[in-house]
Amino acid sequence: MYNGPSQPYQRTYAECYRFRGIDPGTLSGRQIVECRERDLESYSKWLLETEMFEPALTSIRGATVHGHSLRLAEDGLMFDMLQRCIVGDEGIVTYVKDQIGEPPLDRAVAVGKPLDDAWAKAHSTIFHSLVGSAYRDDEEYIEYIVRIHSLRTKYGFMPVEE
Protein backbone atom coordinates (compact mmCIF):
# COMPACT_ATOMS: atom_id res chain seq x y z
CA MET A 1 0.00 0.00 0.00
CA TYR A 2 3.02 2.27 0.18
CA ASN A 3 2.51 4.10 -3.10
CA GLY A 4 2.25 1.05 -5.26
CA PRO A 5 1.52 2.38 -8.73
CA SER A 6 -1.73 0.61 -9.45
CA GLN A 7 -4.07 -0.52 -6.72
CA PRO A 8 -6.63 -3.33 -7.12
CA TYR A 9 -9.71 -1.52 -8.40
CA GLN A 10 -7.64 0.71 -10.68
CA ARG A 11 -6.21 -2.38 -12.30
CA THR A 12 -9.67 -3.81 -12.73
CA TYR A 13 -11.01 -0.63 -14.27
CA ALA A 14 -8.06 -0.42 -16.67
CA GLU A 15 -8.33 -4.05 -17.73
CA CYS A 16 -12.06 -3.85 -18.31
CA TYR A 17 -11.54 -0.88 -20.62
CA ARG A 18 -8.53 -2.20 -22.48
CA PHE A 19 -8.98 -5.92 -22.92
CA ARG A 20 -11.54 -8.19 -24.49
CA GLY A 21 -12.85 -11.30 -22.78
CA ILE A 22 -11.33 -10.52 -19.40
CA ASP A 23 -12.85 -11.14 -16.00
CA PRO A 24 -11.01 -9.34 -13.23
CA GLY A 25 -11.75 -10.02 -9.59
CA THR A 26 -10.84 -7.44 -7.00
CA LEU A 27 -9.86 -8.12 -3.42
CA SER A 28 -8.09 -6.02 -0.84
CA GLY A 29 -4.55 -7.04 -1.67
CA ARG A 30 -4.62 -9.15 -4.76
CA GLN A 31 -6.32 -8.65 -8.05
CA ILE A 32 -7.04 -11.71 -10.10
CA VAL A 33 -7.56 -11.91 -13.83
CA GLU A 34 -9.24 -14.66 -15.77
CA CYS A 35 -9.07 -14.60 -19.53
CA ARG A 36 -8.72 -16.82 -22.57
CA GLU A 37 -5.50 -18.77 -22.51
CA ARG A 38 -4.53 -17.40 -25.90
CA ASP A 39 -4.67 -13.86 -24.49
CA LEU A 40 -2.92 -14.54 -21.23
CA GLU A 41 0.61 -13.93 -22.33
CA SER A 42 -0.08 -10.65 -24.08
CA TYR A 43 -2.16 -9.28 -21.24
CA SER A 44 0.47 -10.29 -18.68
CA LYS A 45 3.20 -8.73 -20.75
CA TRP A 46 1.26 -5.50 -20.89
CA LEU A 47 0.75 -5.47 -17.13
CA LEU A 48 4.43 -6.07 -16.50
CA GLU A 49 5.84 -3.61 -18.98
CA THR A 50 3.70 -0.60 -18.19
CA GLU A 51 3.76 1.74 -15.24
CA MET A 52 1.14 -0.45 -13.57
CA PHE A 53 4.03 -2.61 -12.40
CA GLU A 54 6.68 -1.69 -9.88
CA PRO A 55 9.18 -4.41 -8.97
CA ALA A 56 9.25 -3.93 -5.19
CA LEU A 57 5.72 -2.75 -4.42
CA THR A 58 3.76 -5.05 -6.69
CA SER A 59 4.17 -8.75 -7.06
CA ILE A 60 3.10 -11.74 -9.13
CA ARG A 61 1.81 -14.49 -6.88
CA GLY A 62 -0.34 -17.58 -6.95
CA ALA A 63 -0.44 -19.12 -3.49
CA THR A 64 -0.28 -17.21 -0.19
CA VAL A 65 -0.60 -13.65 -1.41
CA HIS A 66 -0.57 -12.13 2.10
CA GLY A 67 1.52 -8.97 2.32
CA HIS A 68 0.03 -5.82 0.93
CA SER A 69 -0.76 -4.32 4.35
CA LEU A 70 2.49 -5.14 6.04
CA ARG A 71 5.42 -2.85 6.54
CA LEU A 72 8.06 -3.23 3.89
CA ALA A 73 11.05 -5.47 4.38
CA GLU A 74 14.42 -3.83 4.99
CA ASP A 75 15.31 -4.16 1.32
CA GLY A 76 12.09 -2.36 0.34
CA LEU A 77 10.22 -5.41 -0.94
CA MET A 78 6.63 -6.15 -0.02
CA PHE A 79 6.46 -9.13 2.35
CA ASP A 80 6.18 -12.47 0.64
CA MET A 81 6.07 -15.51 2.85
CA LEU A 82 7.49 -17.65 0.05
CA GLN A 83 10.17 -15.13 -0.94
CA ARG A 84 9.49 -15.70 -4.60
CA CYS A 85 11.67 -12.76 -5.54
CA ILE A 86 14.85 -11.30 -4.15
CA VAL A 87 16.83 -8.13 -4.64
CA GLY A 88 19.81 -9.38 -6.60
CA ASP A 89 22.96 -7.91 -8.00
CA GLU A 90 22.90 -4.20 -8.65
CA GLY A 91 19.57 -3.88 -6.91
CA ILE A 92 17.57 -5.72 -9.57
CA VAL A 93 14.49 -7.57 -8.36
CA THR A 94 14.63 -11.15 -9.57
CA TYR A 95 12.05 -13.93 -9.41
CA VAL A 96 13.68 -17.19 -8.30
CA LYS A 97 10.58 -19.30 -7.59
CA ASP A 98 7.34 -19.85 -9.46
CA GLN A 99 3.95 -18.54 -8.39
CA ILE A 100 3.44 -21.26 -5.80
CA GLY A 101 6.95 -20.86 -4.47
CA GLU A 102 8.56 -23.93 -5.96
CA PRO A 103 12.26 -23.43 -6.68
CA PRO A 104 14.17 -23.25 -8.76
CA LEU A 105 12.89 -21.66 -11.96
CA ASP A 106 14.64 -22.92 -15.05
CA ARG A 107 16.11 -19.45 -15.17
CA ALA A 108 15.73 -16.51 -12.81
CA VAL A 109 13.58 -13.68 -14.17
CA ALA A 110 14.77 -10.14 -13.61
CA VAL A 111 11.97 -7.59 -13.52
CA GLY A 112 13.99 -4.46 -12.94
CA LYS A 113 15.03 -2.09 -10.22
CA PRO A 114 12.59 -0.67 -7.70
CA LEU A 115 11.64 2.84 -8.66
CA ASP A 116 12.50 5.68 -6.35
CA ASP A 117 10.15 7.03 -3.73
CA ALA A 118 9.47 10.25 -5.59
CA TRP A 119 8.37 8.38 -8.71
CA ALA A 120 6.19 6.05 -6.69
CA LYS A 121 4.55 8.91 -4.85
CA ALA A 122 3.89 10.80 -8.08
CA HIS A 123 2.43 7.81 -9.90
CA SER A 124 0.54 6.01 -7.14
CA THR A 125 -3.23 5.56 -7.35
CA ILE A 126 -3.69 5.34 -3.59
CA PHE A 127 -4.21 8.08 -1.06
CA HIS A 128 -1.90 7.79 1.93
CA SER A 129 -1.48 10.52 4.52
CA LEU A 130 1.90 9.24 5.75
CA VAL A 131 3.86 8.52 2.60
CA GLY A 132 1.78 10.10 -0.14
CA SER A 133 -1.18 12.38 -0.74
CA ALA A 134 -3.81 12.71 1.98
CA TYR A 135 -7.35 11.71 1.07
CA ARG A 136 -8.73 14.52 3.20
CA ASP A 137 -7.04 17.13 1.03
CA ASP A 138 -8.96 16.12 -2.09
CA GLU A 139 -12.27 17.69 -1.21
CA GLU A 140 -13.73 17.43 -4.69
CA TYR A 141 -13.12 13.67 -4.79
CA ILE A 142 -14.79 13.18 -1.42
CA GLU A 143 -17.71 15.38 -2.37
CA TYR A 144 -18.29 13.29 -5.47
CA ILE A 145 -18.35 10.02 -3.53
CA VAL A 146 -20.77 11.48 -1.01
CA ARG A 147 -22.97 12.64 -3.88
CA ILE A 148 -23.06 9.15 -5.37
CA HIS A 149 -23.99 7.72 -1.99
CA SER A 150 -26.75 10.27 -1.43
CA LEU A 151 -28.28 9.72 -4.84
CA ARG A 152 -28.22 5.96 -4.46
CA THR A 153 -29.83 6.24 -1.05
CA LYS A 154 -32.69 8.30 -2.37
CA TYR A 155 -33.20 6.81 -5.78
CA GLY A 156 -31.50 3.43 -5.93
CA PHE A 157 -29.45 2.74 -9.01
CA MET A 158 -31.34 5.00 -11.40
CA PRO A 159 -30.60 8.27 -9.68
CA VAL A 160 -32.47 11.41 -10.68
CA GLU A 161 -31.11 14.82 -9.89
CA GLU A 162 -33.33 16.89 -7.65
Report the residue from 9, 16, 45, 88 that binds another protein according to the rule CB under 8 A: 9
Q: How far is the CB of 96 from another protein (least distance, A)?
A: 14
N-terminal to C-terminal alpha carbon distance within the chain: 38
Q: How far is the CB of 7 from another protein (least distance, A)?
A: 3
Report the residue from 66, 113, 121, 123 that binds another protein according to the rule CB under 8 A: 66
Tell me the backbone φ, ψ of residue 111, rounded to 5 degrees.
-115, 5
Q: How far is the CB of 34 from another protein (least distance, A)?
A: 13
Looking only at the bridges linking them, the beta strands covering 109-112 and 22-26 are: unpaired
Instruction: Measure Cα distances from 138 to 18, 77, 132, 144 in Å.
Output: 27, 29, 12, 10
Report the residue from 156, 160, 161, 162 that binds another protein according to the rule CB under 8 A: 156
Angle at 74 between CA 71 and CA 77, to 5 degrees: 65
Query: Residues in the site for another protein, rule: CB under 8 A?
Result: 1-2, 7-10, 25-29, 63-64, 66, 69-74, 76, 79, 81-83, 101-102, 125-131, 134-136, 141-142, 145-146, 148-150, 152-157
